[in-house]
Each structure stands twice: as C-alpha cells, then as structure tokens.
Structure 1
Amino acid sequence: MAKAFADFARDLLAQESVQSTLEEITALAVSEIEGCEFAGVSLVEKKKNISTHAETDPLVKRIDEIQYRTGEGPCIQAVWVREVFSVDSMDGETRWPRFTAEAGPLGVGSMCSFQLFTHEEILGGLNLYSSREHAFGVEAYEIGQILAAHAAVALASAQTEHNLQRAVRTRQRIGEATGILIERYRITDREAFALLAKASQNMNVKLSALAEELVHTGSLPDAD
C-alpha cells in the first residue's frame, strides 16, 4: 500500500498541465478506490464559485450541476469543511432533500466527497460516485483521504507552474508589443509602455490582452 501511494504521488507530479493532473486524479480514484465507478474534481474559482473541471463520465457533471444549483450535497459541504461527506443511499438521505430528489433518478446510489486543500488554500473537492447504495466502506474513505492529500499537493504545484508560465508569456508579449510601438513611432520603451497602458485603460481591456492583439495584428484595436 505504501508503494501504491508513492506511485500515486509520482504519477500526479509527472503530469504536464493542470488539466492532465485533474484527469489523472479522477482516473486513479476509479482504479484504486473500491466501490468507485465514476469520479470528478470540483474546483473553487475566485474563492466562491465551484465548477467541475474533470470527470470520468458525463453523469458526474450532471450530478455536480444539481449540487451547484441547489446549494446542497456532499461536494458542496466537503469543499468548505475539512471533513469527508458521503451519501450511503440517495433514497435514505435526509440532509440534502432537493439534491437527492433530483440525483437519485439519474442512477447514482451513493457518493463520497473529500476536500482538496493545502495549508495555504482550499482548492476544491474530489468526488466519488457509485450506482450502488452503500458502495463506500472504511477502506474507501481512508484511501480517498490519502489520494486527496496527494492530489491537492500535485494540483497546487501544477497551478503554480501554470501561473508562472502565463506570467512569463504575458511579460514576453508586452515586451514584443512595446517593441512594435518603439519601431513604428520612434519612441522610447517607457513611452511605448505608457502608450500601451493608456490604450488599455481607455478601452477597458487588460494590458496582456491588448499586447496579444497588437503582436498578432500589428496595430492597436480601434477604441470605438
């Protein structure tokens, strides 16, 4: 078991993007957690909105969307509270009546949700689903918590790498855009950046997006 979890960690950290990390998390959940037929990862966006970013079956997104719309369900609870939340039977569950009333007929008998978090932030939730009632036992909860911990570290690392790469690309694009303005108008780099920043403000467009447009088209878009 220790070797299996070490392999989990290596497999997750080896992924090349945020999306591939998410897809590996859900694939591992289905293959390694007893009772799990489908899995999904929900992420917190802008510290309040929750949306599904990876799922092993279209049914996962349908079930998740019911939770987001009704504001009920184990995923909603697990994302904000550092505990495991589960539904042993959709028919017998009383805590989230609006959710279970809609989710039960879709073919989900039970589910289990774990918070994805680091010491710095809440990332989202790992959600497990089964067509059978009472599908998840104590071992599934234990393995799920360990997988969720590995997944959170790998996901945080992938997001950090993505943000750094995006920052580098943005800096490069702004440099290329100011270079175009310098050559065209025979101005200094400071004047070129000021011109770009002023256009960004006047058009209410992000500086990075405006720089991207200038690099691709060779001209600033019309303010009108």
Structure 2
Amino acid sequence: MDELMSETAQWAQLQDLLVHHEDVQDFLQELARLSASSLSVRGTTYCGITLQRSRDHQFTVASSDREALQMDEIQYAFGDGPCLHAIRIQDEVHVGNAASDSRWPEYMEHIRDYGIRSMYSVPLKLGGHAKAAMNLYAKDPDVFDEDFRRVARTYAAEASHALLLAVRVSQHAATVEDLQAVLASRTDIDLAVGIIMGQNRCTQQEAFDTLRRASNGRNLKVRVLAAEMVARLNGEPAQTHFTAG
C-alpha cells in the first residue's frame, strides 16, 4: 500500500519519539497522534490507546484528539465493544461499517450518532498483567481494508516494542533518581558525623549516636537533620561526588 509508510520508516519515527519523550505519558500522547497521522490515508483517522489493568478497570491513556477519546469512553460506559473485545481475546477486531454491523447493538447505535462508521482495534503486546489496545476510528465506511489492516498490525507490533522500551527507560530513570537521593542522603549523614567528630573529639559511632539522639529529640529524620547541619556549615547543600550511568 503505497500511501502507508514502510516498516523501516515506521520504526524510525517511533525511535524518534523515544529519544524526545522520556516521560511515558508524553510518549503515549505523541504515539497516538503519530499513529493517527501516519494511518490517515483515506480521510482522517482517529486513534485512542486503551490500557486495561483489570477486567473492570480500563481507561484511555492517550488519544490523538477528542473524537477518539469520546469513542473510547462510550465503549467503557457500555462495558463492551471492539476495543474491549480485542483486549479480551488478544486479537484484532474490525468493524467495516457500524451502520450495518450487528455486534454490540447499543454501543453501535451511539457510535453512529457521532458519525463513526469504520473501527479497527488491535492489541498491544505489553507482557505482565496489563493489557492494551490501539483503537482506530474513521467516519467513512470500509476505510480499514485488508491492506490497511496488514500495515496497521505491523505498526502496532512496532509500537508495542517502543512502548515496552519507553516503560523500561522510565523505570530506569526512576531507579537512577532513587539512587541519587540515597547517595545524597548518605553524603549528608557522613559529613554531619564528621562535623560532630571534629567538634566533640569522639569516635564515628559516638558521633552517629549523637546525631540520632538529636534527630529523635527534634522529631526529624536523621538525613534531614544532617542536611541542615551541612547546609549551615557550608552555606549550601552538600554535593555528592559520583556519576550516575
């Protein structure tokens, strides 16, 4: 299908999203917009990304526009529809024309009122307990034909890989931040202990016990009291001497 981008171009664009959006929520929002624009070859395609944490708890984590969000939320209200069914069976669900499709009749009636005719939902493979799907909507019937669905399946698979990588990068960043906080606290405590040792001419253990008693007496955590002591002496917070890789 000439109008749709090649698999190489798809992955290149998804990689570009990963580089420029370290935050998973920002990445998802841009992924929804990129998916909608990349797959809008026969008129406007709307894209929503649904995350399901349990059978009764699903929500749209990103959408290309308000139309996609509305279509998703109507589906959640009825508790069934193409997207939720796709997540349930872990397979794609295609609606060629909502005006004549007899599945999910109440949902279809509401969708028709919004002018939506074509729908296509494809699961995103995340692993673990969480499940997700990419939901595509269009106002004309029969927009998502077999050629379109073949490309969209490939695109969704690449998006799944990119999303997994984005989550792992985000988790790694959080781990690094936690490590930095721990090391910064350790630096403050060590410096405070050194200050007390110098002032009282005592051992390291005696200095730490003094610091701990003072923290209990002031109802402050040891690291907070230590940071205050170091800041008073230096006039600024202590600096840790390490590089996070």
Of stretches 83-92 and 156-165 in structure 1, the one that deviates more from structure 2 is 83-92
Q: Residues 48 and 164 of structure 1: is their aligned pair in 2 closer, same or farther, counting only changes over 3 Å? A: farther
Which AA in structure 2 matches 1:152?
Answer: S
1:25 aligns with 2:31: yes
1:152 alignment partner, one of 148, 160, 174: 160
1:83 aligns with 2:85: no
3-state DSSP of counterpart to 1:53? strand
Of stretches 30-39 and 137-146 in structure 1, the one that deviates more from structure 2 is 30-39
1:74 alignment partner, one of 53, 71, 82: 82
2:118 alignment partner, one of 97, 110, 117: 110
Residues 4-47 of structure 1: CA distance to partner in whole angstroms, max 9, x if unpaired? 21121122123233234323433343333334521121123478
Partner in structure 1 of residue 139 of structure 2: 131
Q: Whose radius of gyration is greater, 1 or 2? A: 2
Of stretches 143-152 and 175-184 in structure 1, the one that deviates more from structure 2 is 175-184
| C-alpha distance in structure 1 between counterparts of 2:49 and 2:126, whole Å | 15
Residues 91-142 of structure 1: CA distance to partner in whole angstroms, max 9, x if unpaired? 2222212221222212211210000005666541111110112221111110
| C-alpha distance in structure 2 between counterparts of 1:57 and 1:96, whole Å | 24
Residues 47-85 of structure 1: CA distance to partner in whole angstroms, max 9, x if unpaired? 863221221110111110111221111110112323210
| C-alpha distance in structure 2 between counterparts of 1:19 and 1:9, whole Å | 19
Of stretches 101-110 and 67-76 in structure 1, the one that deviates more from structure 2 is 101-110
| C-alpha distance in structure 1 between counterparts of 2:55 and 2:180, whole Å | 29
CA RMSD of aligned residues (A): 3.5
TM-score (norm 1): 0.72
| C-alpha distance in structure 2 between counterparts of 1:136 and 1:166, whole Å | 39
Residues 135-157 of structure 1: CA distance to partner in whole angstroms, max 9, x if unpaired? 21111110110000000000000
Deviation at 1:180, TM superposition (A): 5.8
3-state DSSP of counterpart to 2:98? coil
1:40 alignment partner, one of 42, 48, 54: 48
3-state DSSP of counterpart to 2:6? helix
Of stretches 112-121 and 45-54 in structure 1, the one that deviates more from structure 2 is 45-54
Which has the bigger relative contact order, CA under 8 A and spacing at least 6? 1
Deviation at 1:181, TM superposition (A): 6.9
| C-alpha distance in structure 2 between counterparts of 1:3 and 1:42, whole Å | 24
3-state DSSP of counterpart to 2:143? coil
Partner in structure 2 of residue 99 of structure 1: 107
2:8 alignment partner, one of 2, 6, 9: 6
Q: Residues 169 and 60 of structure 1: is their aligned pair in 2 closer, same or farther, counting only changes over 3 Å? A: same
Q: What is the aligned length?
A: 198
Which AA in structure 1 matches 2:169?
Answer: E
Q: Residues 3 and 138 of structure 1: is their aligned pair in 2 closer, same or farther, counting only changes over 3 Å? A: closer
Asked if the contact 1:79–1:115 (Cα under 8 Å) also holds between the matched residues in 2, the reply is: yes
3-state DSSP of counterpart to 1:125? strand
TM-score (norm 2): 0.67
Q: Residues 111 and 3 of structure 1: is their aligned pair in 2 closer, same or farther, counting only changes over 3 Å? A: closer
Partner in structure 2 of residue 208 of structure 1: none
3-state DSSP of counterpart to 2:142? coil
Structure 1 regions of 5+ residues with no counterpart?
201-210, 219-224
Asked if the contact 1:107–1:131 (Cα under 8 Å) also holds between the matched residues in 2, the reply is: yes
